[in-house]
Amino acid sequence: MMLDNHDSAIVRKMPIVGLVVAVVALFADQVSKYIMVELVMRPDGISGTPFYSSRIIEVLPVFQLRMAWNTGISFSLFDSGTTLTIVALIIVQSVIMLTILWFMWHMSGAWMQTACGLIVGGGLGNIVDRITMGAVADFLDFFWQDWHFPTFNLADTCISVGVGMWLLDALITRPHHKVSNG
């Protein structure tokens, strides 16, 4: 089967770097969650999710692994856990992911393709959790004495790094428009 000119133009415009980064980010996130939820943190005799686990694994004096479930958004905002809230969050996240995919399709440089791919892969990882487990599985816990940063996961890290790259691109590498006074 041969591609016609229209099909080959679509293939040329495909954001290959961004799509590969998104797939790798999604895969790494889901593998890390499977390991933590199913192999490390799940208590004996418990099959459903979300579940409570008292297990804490100290990795460094300021970093530990502990199971937390987020039915809300960042920092547990809108954390009611009701079916309506979960469905609404899945819809909102899906619209955001489609918007970022649209941007990714229109970005030409590898830097911005990577940024968009990280955001999409991380966002999809958290959407998969909401659909399959009813909440997002978080387990990375940084702390100092009694203060704890909100527990997070690899998907959140990918999203944060992607947004950071996007902001750096906007602030540093893009030409700035000057306002004229006249």
Choosing from 138, 141, 146, 169, the catalytic residue is 138
Specify which residues 64 forms β-bridges with. Answer: 58, 141
| CB neighbourhood size of 1 (10 A) | 3
d(Cα 55, Cα 34) in Å, to the nearest integer? 16
How many helices and strands in the chain, by DSSP H and E? 5, 4
Instruction: Please confirm, yes or no, whether 141 is among the known catalytic residues.
Output: no
| CB neighbourhood size of 91 (10 A) | 10
Specify which residues 105 forms β-bridges with. Answer: none
- Where do we find the tokens 């409570």? 52
Instruction: Please confirm, yes or no, whether 146 is among the known catalytic residues.
Output: no
Choosing from 29, 129, 141, 156, the catalytic residue is 156
Active site amino acids:
138, 156
